[in-house]
Amino acid sequence: MSVIGARVKRLEDRELLLGEGRFAADYTFEDQLYMRVVRSPVAHGVLGEIEIDEALALEGVIAVWTGRDIAHLPPIDFRLTKIQDLPLCRQHVLVQDKVRYVGDPIAVVIADDPYVAEDGAELVFAHIEELPPILDATASPGEFVPGVSTEPAVVEKSYGDLDAAFAGAAHVFECEFEVGRHTGVALETRGANVLYNADSDRLEFFGAAKVPHFNRLAIAGMLGLEPEQIHLFEGHVGGGFGVRGELYPEDVLCCYAALELKRPVKWIEDRMENLMAANHSREQVYRLRAAVDETGYILAVDNEFFTSQGAYVRTHGATVSDLSAAMLPGPYMVPAYRAKGRVRLTNKTPCGTYRAPGRYESTFARERLVDVIAHRMGIDPVEMRRRNLIPPELMPYSRGIANHGTPLVYDSGDYAKLLDRLMDYIGYDDLRAELAARRAQGELVGLGLGYFVEKSGLGPYDDVRVEIAGDGRIEVITGVASIGQGVETVIAQICAETLGVDYQTIRVTHGQTDRIERGMGAFASRVTVMTGSATADAAGQLRTRLIETTSERLQLPSENLTIVDGWIRPIGETEGPSMSVGDAAAAYLDDHGGQVVSVEATFEATHMTYPYGIHLAIACVDRETAGIELERIVVAYDIGRSVNPTLVEGQIAGGMAQGIGGALYEEFLYTEDGQPICATFADYLWPTAQEVPDIESIVTEDAPSRTNPLGIKGAGECGINASGAAIASAVGQAIGDPGAITRLPISPLRLNEILNRSL
């Protein structure tokens, strides 16, 4: 039986179920010190004197540092999508001159107890001359700080003859859509524990996540260390979602402190810090114009959008805006297109990526636009979509623009077929009639959908080393990271399939910079595609080597041998001469020497691979409370080839739950003077089991990827992509005005205003 595609159970679970996980806060070392960050209490102001004497006098406080003490450290560099290098856009690890958002780090206190470190931080007083904050990302550009515009970058992409399309259009539609500020908010807050190992003269960073190899080089560069003087170690990670694991000021401060004090320094942020200092995301405004012919076929889209970047441009550079611009046309032909994405600095928490960055937002805008066009032209919304889908015969389909630094080419897909499958599954005609009947009875109930194209498998490379010892132990050493998504299981499945062994005998190593020279990490739904492909390659080579060794020992032709359940024997036979893979490895080592048989492989990709899907929601609105009940959620998704369907469905359900949060509940709101008012879980509302219905998923394999030999596409972001779009669409239909919802989240307050207006 093939183990790729099987619903096997996870290898990761045991430690986590027993309470033996190793999350960032779980490491404690001898002589441990604790760091607490003092943060700006105002959104914008000139930083004056910082009084630290009282804090320094507190028993147990070891050090207090301000921006002056670390002025020699450069600001944190971009990791992706670099914009014109304006150092003043980037964040110093401690404020040098002006505070730019509530939460901006201005000092650190190091103490021998975490409670004392907090006491010390309370005693630090910063004199700040307040300035009025800039909070509106759509206002005309001005000066953010001296020498830096509020618009440090504009992302532009276009193809086709836009002017001709608009000139010849039967209809032109103009709409504005907005997605509120929210973010990943993992249950584990950020944290690190860094120690200086005197024996090896190196820093050891525990609690790494997402991109340990990149961060290793970045931290080394900032602190003036050689790369071999620092290693990062990933334990368990309590959720990533794009946010956790990027390089933040606190990570560098922890390393700096450990190096200076030559004692382990631990930093665990509290939830309030997490909600105002870790990357925010989303907050975009789209102004769309569409040229449409008399049949509802979209001829062109002109897309000007604004991203409220927050106070600094962090490691992601202009990634979110780049993806928004490239992915807005989605599954539709749209023969002419122009995007102008304005990155705007505001006195809010800096933004980065959050699961389906630029797609959650642009899919919302596109699908709302499609609903508006369909409604105004009297076309059924499903039919409207069908008329505009890219047909399968045009695959692979190039838009002639770049996406995330790679050519945007949809490698495979049959978009209409997936729509048909979904419509069949739900019985669309009957369901539509049923909902119309309920509406006729006075219920506010509606069905909405959002079609989306995802992207996954971002390159450029990933390395894998597969090793087998003479006792049969197999290890796959990767340069990726695990953020809870099941990397170990999936990579073990791919290795097991190729090698012919039980996946449970395989150990998968990730996030350890001392085990493999380079690695790209876990983001952009890339791990299964990139590391999976490299694993299949390395395991295939190892298989050949073990079979050849067995062939020599057993005097059988290697082409007649196979590996089944860890035994190398003639094809089709279950008895007779055979060798276990461990014995074959031992034989190989006898001949060639060494501790393990080791094979390395690299998988490179110049293009991403593009899965696609549809989210469908049925929502019922309470006229009195403006509350929204999600009666049903269905996700149809073509993944090309599924390595573990149970884990794919888990990604869908989890992503959808977050998408529901962004659609209905989660938003970082600010007062007029830039104070964040959603900095606790009492105010930042994340969906509980009461708000998330059971999510039905239909996972298909109609369109295997053409970018990798296994035909696989990623699953990480497919659950969230069109969730906001579909829910907004359903609520619009429910209240009898399909174009009414132009902004997420659809809070009761906003929906009440709409209901008062339209009912």
Partner 1 sequence: MTTGSAKHEIRLNINGVDHDVIVDARRTLVDAVRDKCGMTGTHIGCEHGVCGACTILIDDEPVRSCLMFAVQAQGRKIRTVEGLAIDGEYSPLQQAFHDHHALQCGFCTPGMLMLSTWLVERGTPVDDEELREVVASNLCRCTGYQNILKAVRSVLDGDKP
Q: Which residues bind partner 1 (CB under 8 A)?
A: 9-10, 12-21, 23, 25-26, 28, 114-116, 119, 184-189, 236-241, 268, 270-271, 483-486, 646-647, 650, 653-658, 680-682, 686, 688-690, 692, 694-695, 719
Judge contact between 209 and 236, C-beta under 8 A: no
Nearer to partner 1 among residue 241 and residue 451 (C-beta): 241
Cβ at position 482, least distance to partner 1 in Å = 9
Nearer to partner 1 among residue 155 and residue 695 (C-beta): 695
| Pairing assessment for the beta strands 743-744 and 171-182 based on DSSP bridges | parallel
DSSP state string for 691-751: T---EEEEEE-SS--SSSTT-----TTTTTTTHHHHHHHHHHHHTT-TT---EES--HHHH
Distance from C-alpha of 153 to C-alpha of 321, rounded to nearest angstrom: 10
| Pairing assessment for the beta strands 191-197 and 202-206 based on DSSP bridges | antiparallel
Cβ at position 629, least distance to partner 1 in Å = 13
Nearer to partner 1 among residue 644 and residue 742 (C-beta): 644
And the tokens for 378? 């009297």
Distance from C-alpha of 334 to C-alpha of 298, rounded to nearest angstrom: 6
Cβ at position 410, least distance to partner 1 in Å = 28
Nearer to partner 1 among residue 212 and residue 296 (C-beta): 212
Cβ at position 237, least distance to partner 1 in Å = 6
Tell me the CB-side half-sphere exposure of residue 390, using CA atoms within 13 A. 24
Residue identified by tokens 């259009």 is: 169
Nearer to partner 1 among residue 111 and residue 601 (C-beta): 111
Cβ at position 590, least distance to partner 1 in Å = 36
Cβ at position 500, least distance to partner 1 in Å = 26
Cβ at position 129, least distance to partner 1 in Å = 31
Cβ at position 256, least distance to partner 1 in Å = 24
Query: What residues contact 32, with CB distance under 8 A and at least 6 apart?
Result: 112, 193, 263, 264, 266
Residue 456 CB neighbour total at 10 angstroms: 26
Nearer to partner 1 among residue 610 and residue 684 (C-beta): 684
Nearer to partner 1 among residue 10 and residue 518 (C-beta): 10
Query: What residues contact 146, with CB distance under 8 A and at least 6 apart?
Result: none
Nearer to partner 1 among residue 105 and residue 659 (C-beta): 659
417: exposed, middle or buried (Cβ count in 10 Å: 0-12, 13-18, 19+): middle
Nearer to partner 1 among residue 245 and residue 317 (C-beta): 245
And the tokens for 150? 């509020």
Cβ at position 9, least distance to partner 1 in Å = 6
CA angle 135, 667, 630 (to 5 degrees): 150
Cβ at position 119, least distance to partner 1 in Å = 5
Write phi, then psi, for 466 (nearest 5 degrees): -105, 130
Nearer to partner 1 among residue 237 and residue 529 (C-beta): 237
Distance from C-alpha of 45 to C-alpha of 67, rounded to nearest angstrom: 15
Cβ at position 52, least distance to partner 1 in Å = 17
Query: What residues contact 635, with CB distance under 8 A and at least 6 apart?
Result: 613, 614, 615, 616, 652, 656, 695, 696, 697, 698, 718, 719
Nearer to partner 1 among residue 236 and residue 455 (C-beta): 236
The beta-strand segments (E) located in 293-335 are 298-310
H or E segment to which residue 487 belongs: helix 487-499
* Long-range Cβ pairs for the range 434-438 (8 Å, 24+): 435/618, 435/733
